Every structure is written in structure tokens, then in C-alpha cells.
């Protein structure tokens, strides 16, 4: 059976989790910016997987030397 301290800790953790999830995010409706200065910003996929400007492969580091 649960003791009063366990119930109190679980209730506090649940309330803290609910408050933190409810407090995140932007207020108001979401929108895509149309201002000219926003045209050159990276999109989410570009941020997660950046593309190199040139077609050359990235340099590969040599493997560590064996002893």
C-alpha cells in the first residue's frame, strides 16, 4: 500500500509535469513569416541536416593509430 509521502511526491511530480507541458509553446496561432528578412532563414529540415554549399564530400578524419 502507498504511504502518504509517496502519494504526495507522486502528486507533486504529476502537477509539475502538467504545469511544464501546459506552459510551453507560442501563444496565439502559428504562422509562416512572410517578411523579406525571413526569406533567408533556415527551415527545420535544413537545420537538422545542413547541406554543404559545394558538391565536394566532407573530409574524413584518419583512424586512430594502432599501438
Planar angle of CA 51, 54, 58, nearest 5 degrees: 70
Contact 54, 60 (CB under 8 A): no
Whether the predicted model's global pTM rises above the 0.85 cut = no
Tens of pLDDT along 7-53?
A: 999 999 999 988 888 766 667 777 777 888 887 887 778 888 877 66
Lookup: cell for 44:
527545420
Kindly write down the DSSP assignment for every residue of the chain, as one continuous string: ---HHHHHHHHHHHHHHHHHHHH-S-SS------SGGGTTSPPHHHHHSPPPSSSSPPPPPPPPPP-
Contact 52, 58 (CB under 8 A): yes
Amino acid at each position: 500500500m502507498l504511504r502518504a509521502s509517496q502519494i504526495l511526491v507522486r502528486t507533486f511530480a504529476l502537477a509539475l509535469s502538467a504545469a511544464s507541458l501546459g506552459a510551453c509553446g507560442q501563444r496565439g496561432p502559428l504562422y509562416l513569416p512572410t517578411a523579406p528578412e525571413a526569406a533567408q532563414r533556415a527551415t527545420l529540415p535544413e537545420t537538422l541536416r545542413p547541406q554543404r554549399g559545394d558538391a565536394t564530400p566532407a573530409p574524413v578524419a584518419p583512424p586512430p593509430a594502432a599501438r
